[in-house]
Amino acid sequence: MTDDPAGAVGYPAGRARLAGKVAVVTGGGSRAEGYGTGRAAAVLFARNGARVLVVDRDRAAAEQTVALIEDDGGIAEAHVADITVADSCQEMAEHAVRTWGRLDILDNNVGVEGAGTILEADWQQWDEVMTVNVKTIALASAAALPYLSRDGGAIVNISSISAFRPRGLTPYSTAKGAVIALTRAMAVDHAGSRVRVNCIAPGPIYTPMVYAAGMSPEVRERRRRASPLGIEGTAWDVAHAAVFLCSDEARYITGVVLPVDGGVSLRSPER
Q: CB-based contacts of 101: which residues, under 8 Å, 6+ apart? A: 22
Q: Quick check: 178 and 135 in contact, CB under 8 A?
A: no
User: How many Cβ atoms from other residues are within 10 Å of residue 151's Cβ?
Assistant: 13
Among the listed residues 35, 147, 172, 206, the single catalytic one is: 172
Tell how far CA 206 is from the center of its chain: 14
Half-sphere exposure of 135 (CA within 13 A, CB side): 12
User: How many Cβ atoms from other residues are within 10 Å of residue 175's Cβ?
Assistant: 27
DSSP 223: H
- The single-letter code of the amino acid at 62 is A
- Catalytic, 11? Answer no
Indicate which residues carry an active-site annotation.
Answer: 172
